[in-house]
Amino acid sequence: MVVPSSGQGPQELGAFIFSGGEPVNPEIVALIPKNSLIIGADSGVKHALDLGFTVAIAVGDFDSLAPEILAQITAAGTKIEMHPPDKDATDLELALDTAVRHGAKSITIIGGHGGRLDHFLANAQLLGAKKFASAKIEAWFDTTRVTAIHDQAQVTGYPGAIISLITVGPPATGVTTTGLRFALEDAEIVAGATLGVSNEFISSKATVVIKTGTILAVQPDGLI
């Protein structure tokens, strides 16, 4: 579990984006606060509906969503942001754009794993995109929790739990950690290297601080 270092004020808007791919782990439902902004990215709409959520905004070309479901949410008052099939961004990226445009300060992506490997890799890298750095972004891929870190974050787990720190984009410099078995001190982690893979918690909390770059903190057993 990741707790953003700056905290989240009570008036900050939190958005939850349901993406396509494999069905969502029902345990995630308990983590979604009431009054959150629920966004469905194409077939992610069905995942949200199956779990009992009301979708406020549906985004995509809807090539993977049954026409009757699209008609259902339209009749229910869901805002539909329709995009052409020939577009320059995935449905998930468009949904992230929508969340930021609506002022979301924290964004959680649910789903987006399984299915095509190219989509999964692109989805994971989206978390660290600089254009979304104004929001605290994390994702749940089944029980794996992934959080983008642009400066610092506090992470929580349990002794022995695995956490990997993986760079996306330019090298992450000045990487310093506390509370992890293999401590890093002003280290550099470059994309394509495995320096940050398979670290472990030595207590229930740890910190990750970086000076430049972006790191994805990956917790394979994020449900604690």
CA-based angle 15:17:137, to the nearest 5? Answer: 65
Spatial separation of the C-alpha atoms in residues 130 and 134, rounded to whole Å: 8
In a domain, 58, yes or no: yes
Neighbours of 118 (CB within 10 A): 9
Is the same domain home to 159 and 60?
A: no
One pLDDT digit (tens) per residue for the chain, 224 residues: 333 333 344 346 789 999 988 878 888 888 888 788 999 999 999 999 999 999 999 999 999 999 999 999 999 999 999 999 999 999 999 999 999 999 999 999 998 776 678 888 888 889 999 999 999 999 998 889 999 999 999 998 999 999 999 999 999 999 999 999 999 999 999 998 999 999 999 999 999 999 999 999 999 987 66
In a domain, 2, yes or no: no
SS3 20: coil
Range of the domain at 98: 7-142
Domain boundary among 81, 107, 142: 142
Spatial separation of the C-alpha atoms in residues 12 and 16, rounded to whole Å: 13
Which residue is it, tokens 């990956």?
218
The CATH number assigned to the domain holding 211 equals: 2.60.120.320
Is the same domain home to 79 and 158?
A: no
Q: What's the whole-model pTM score?
A: 0.88
The CATH number assigned to the domain holding 19 equals: 3.40.50.10240
Spatial separation of the C-alpha atoms in residues 15 and 149, rounded to whole Å: 18
Q: Output phi, psi for 113, to 5 deg.
A: -110, 170
In a domain, 118, yes or no: yes
Which residue is it, tokens 């787990």?
157
Spatial separation of the C-alpha atoms in residues 171 and 214, rounded to whole Å: 8
Structure tokens at 79: 């805002």
pLDDT at 119: 82
Spatial separation of the C-alpha atoms in residues 22 and 54, rounded to whole Å: 20
pLDDT at 224: 64
